A and B are shown apart, each in its own frame.
Chain A
Amino acid sequence: MTRANIDVERLREHFRTMARIRAFEEAAEAGQKSGEIRGAVHLSVGQEAVASGICANLRRSDYLVSTHRVHGHTIAKGADVTAMMAELLGKAGGTCQGKGGSMHIADFSIGMLGANGVVGAGIPIAAGAAHAVKLRGGSEIVACFFGDGAVNRGPFLEGLNWARIYDLPILFICEDNGFAATTRTRSLTGGPGPAARAEALGIPARIVDGNAVEEVDAAAAERVTRIREGGGPQFILAQTYRLKGHTAHDPATYRPAAEVEEKQRRDPIELCRETLLLRGVPAAALAADEAAARVEIAAAVAAARAQPWGDESLAWRDVQDMGAPA
């Protein structure tokens, strides 16, 4: 698929999803700045096309394993934004009852097996989920997101090799946003990069423009079909850019403002808007999509705010069965 022949309705759906993610991230950023949202919040502003393009090809029953930069993936997979916002606010109605916060969002009801506070730790977990699917003869696939920084950790090698030798139904998505915290990842990554590493382990890899949602969607569609047909693990390297700091507290002074300005011009939502306008969708309709997204997220924030904190007894629950703390 190219820009020219993507279905307009499908692209419009991407636009809506990306607008919802953006609105969520903006609310999360505001909440972190006001202190209402605690802990560390990692925003995916500028990376929405990766989340939307990949997850549009997943079924509700498919599994998702994410990272600390988790909001976009989870929204695109279909999570309830009020429950997500309640989690960010630490409320009892949060996806994890307020026990995890932004960095530990999970929603098993949609196959979302968890964000992770430890870089790279999700990769073997995703391999294990795919292993179990194969073991029980299931038809689900696993989508495993990680950042470009994670490819320098051992679990990347171990998880990819595992997926290959057991021929597992798993799609690895490396989101290359250029940075690992304050570090330019390429400066500390040897060789030609993540896709070549995957290929070296026998996993077919594709490199896509992670800001062009139709391109991500097309690549994901093709790879997911292969996996569903029994083709084994696949790898997508989505090249994108982190428009905000590493966390919502990070002013990202380690990179020139001009660089960010330039990248802003390739904002995935704006690129998608351009295409839709060319395809005859009225600007007002797109503005209405964005307004609807903001209204939805504002309502989620209000509903989450109105929720109570969890009862203290919640802290003592779900630790373990044998010898549970009392």
Chain B
Amino acid sequence: MTLMSYLEAGKRALAEEMRRDPAVWALGEDLGRGGVFGQYKGLAEEFGPQRICDTPISEACIMGAAVGAALVGTRPVVEMRFSDFALCAIDELVNQAAKARYMFGGQGRVPLVVREPVGMWRSSAAQHSQSLEAWYAHIPGLVVVTPSTPADNYGLLKAAIRCDDPVVYMEHKDLWPLEGEVEADGEALPLGKARILRQGGDLTIVAWSGVLRTVRQAAEALAGTGVAAEVIDLRTLYPWDRETVLASAARTRRLLVVHEAVAIGGFGGEIAATAAEELGVRVKRLGAPRLPVAYAPPLEAQCRVSEAQIVAAARTLL
């Protein structure tokens, strides 16, 4: 085990996969100088400019080229730098990458990973703060992954690169410096498997990505008042781990889903509806109000799910 940051863990995973499989390569803006957050630092030196490919500011072509390159047998890792800019390549991802295999009757596959850093970070305002994971979970053909720890960023990025489906891989920008133990030269983690972070019998809280830090604090606070919350990190949004979530909710009979993304139309609705349909348990969703993210801190805070909100939501279920 080695202590490393979430950012470092992702870089390690990519480097190891590139060493293991010469078909893996990465493309995106500024990658030659380490990428916008430094998550590619040193990789151009090791793998050269062909496999760590510096691109123009041409998101549509970056993604489209990755689709073409994937169809002929390589495994591109596409860097979009902020998930917000991936919207400039939405046709290439949604109409092309996600559908090529199906439309062409299974003749080709698109084993690409698109890294789309998400979330509120350093007061970045409306065009650099979004969490749009639910959009992608909605699209047949895509896998959606949202790692929340260094170990997960390592193991899940490896798995995403090895996956033969197109994967939308959403790291949270605010987690880059988060440190944790990672098994170096370790294994890929299975996609589609949630993890129980904390056991409890009174209610189940499902969350993913950056907001888990707040959820853990809320669970602590609840524990202080005698409420035992079971906290589940979903880790993969699609396919999501119904088994783990439903087993927990069947035990606790109460399910709260929390995400940083806007609550309306968020993926929390899918999980809550499934639990209600399958188990008839009480459900609740918590997410951001349907607001663009503002710049000024007190305004931005309106979009942030707080510990107090989570505790209050949990209490309404009890």
Given A90-B296, A319-B292, A325-B291: A183 in contact with B54 (beta carbons within 8 A): yes
A229 located at the interface, meaning its Cβ lies under 8 Å from any Cβ of chain B in the complex: no
**B139 — which chain A residues lie within 8 A by C-beta?**
none
**A98 — which chain B residues lie within 8 A by C-beta?**
294-296, 299
Quick one: CB contact mask for B99-128 with A, threshold 8 Å, 1 for yes? 000000000000000000000001111111
Given A103-B125, A315-B291, A316-B291: A309 in contact with B298 (beta carbons within 8 A): yes
**B125 — which chain A residues lie within 8 A by C-beta?**
39, 99-101, 103-104, 117
A312 located at the interface, meaning its Cβ lies under 8 Å from any Cβ of chain B in the complex: yes
Given A99-B294, A315-B291, A315-B294: A39 in contact with B122 (beta carbons within 8 A): yes
Quick one: CB contact mask for A292-326 with B, threshold 8 Å, 1 for yes? 00000000000000000110101110010000010
Given A90-B295, A149-B56: A181 in contact with B303 (beta carbons within 8 A): no
Q: How large is the interface on B (under 10, 10 to 19, 20 to 34, 35 or more residues)?
A: 35 or more
Taking a contact as CB atoms under 8 Å apart, the answer to whether B290 and A319 are in contact is yes
Q: Which of B28-36, B174-182, B215-223, B224-232 contacts A (4 or more CB under 8 A)?
A: B28-36
Q: Which of B57-65, B157-165, B188-196, B197-205 contacts A (4 or more CB under 8 A)?
A: B57-65
**A116 — which chain B residues lie within 8 A by C-beta?**
127
Beta-carbon nearest neighbor of A185 in chain B? B56
Most interface-central of B32, B292, B299 (chain A CB within 10 A): B299
**A120 — which chain B residues lie within 8 A by C-beta?**
57
A61 located at the interface, meaning its Cβ lies under 8 Å from any Cβ of chain B in the complex: no
Taking a contact as CB atoms under 8 Å apart, the answer to whether A38 and B297 are in contact is yes
Most interface-central of B33, B125, B295 (chain A CB within 10 A): B295
Shortest CB distance B3–A (Å): 26
Taking a contact as CB atoms under 8 Å apart, the answer to whether A183 and B29 are in contact is yes
Shortest CB distance B34–A (Å): 8
Cα separation A28 to B297 with both chains bound (whole Å): 18
Cα separation A119 to B122 with both chains bound (whole Å): 20
B47 located at the interface, meaning its Cβ lies under 8 Å from any Cβ of chain A in the complex: no
Q: Which residues of chain B (57-106) have a CB below 8 Å from chain A?
A: 57-61, 84-85, 88
Taking a contact as CB atoms under 8 Å apart, the answer to whether A312 and B298 are in contact is yes
Taking a contact as CB atoms under 8 Å apart, the answer to whether B57 and A149 are in contact is yes
Shortest CB distance A257–B (Å): 16
**A90 — which chain B residues lie within 8 A by C-beta?**
123, 295-297, 299
Beta-carbon nearest neighbor of A247 in chain B? B36
B239 located at the interface, meaning its Cβ lies under 8 Å from any Cβ of chain A in the complex: no
Cα separation A188 to B54 with both chains bound (whole Å): 8
Taking a contact as CB atoms under 8 Å apart, the answer to whether B290 and A154 are in contact is no
Given A91-B296, A315-B299: A183 in contact with B32 (beta carbons within 8 A): yes
Taking a contact as CB atoms under 8 Å apart, the answer to whether B60 and A39 are in contact is no
Cα separation A85 to B179 with both chains bound (whole Å): 36
Most interface-central of A180, A181, A182, A310 (chain B CB within 10 A): A182
Cα separation A181 to B34 with both chains bound (whole Å): 12
**B2 — which chain A residues lie within 8 A by C-beta?**
none
Shortest CB distance A250–B (Å): 10
Beta-carbon nearest neighbor of B127 in chain A? A117
**A316 — which chain B residues lie within 8 A by C-beta?**
289, 291, 302
B244 located at the interface, meaning its Cβ lies under 8 Å from any Cβ of chain A in the complex: no
Taking a contact as CB atoms under 8 Å apart, the answer to whether A100 and B299 are in contact is no
**B292 — which chain A residues lie within 8 A by C-beta?**
319
A40 located at the interface, meaning its Cβ lies under 8 Å from any Cβ of chain B in the complex: yes
Cα separation A101 to B294 with both chains bound (whole Å): 9
Cα separation A312 to B126 with both chains bound (whole Å): 16
Beta-carbon nearest neighbor of B302 in chain A? A315
Cα separation A100 to B299 with both chains bound (whole Å): 11
Taking a contact as CB atoms under 8 Å apart, the answer to whether B295 and A39 are in contact is yes
What are 30 A-B pairs with beta-carbon distances under 8 A? A38-B123, A39-B122, A39-B295, A90-B123, A90-B299, A99-B294, A99-B295, A99-B296, A100-B126, A103-B125, A103-B127, A104-B127, A118-B84, A152-B56, A153-B57, A154-B88, A182-B33, A183-B33, A187-B54, A188-B54, A188-B56, A254-B33, A309-B297, A309-B299, A310-B296, A310-B298, A310-B299, A316-B289, A316-B291, A319-B291
Chain B residues proximal to chain A, CB less than 8 Å: 29-30, 32-33, 36, 54-61, 84-85, 88, 122-128, 289-292, 294-303
Given contacts A101-B296, A182-B33, A310-B298, 18 further A-B contacts (CB under 8 A): A38-B295, A39-B125, A40-B128, A90-B296, A99-B294, A99-B296, A100-B295, A103-B127, A104-B126, A116-B127, A118-B127, A120-B57, A188-B55, A254-B33, A312-B298, A316-B289, A319-B292, A325-B291
Chain A residues proximal to chain B, CB less than 8 Å: 38-40, 90-91, 94, 98-101, 103-104, 116-120, 149-150, 152-154, 180-183, 187-189, 254, 309-310, 312, 314-316, 319, 325
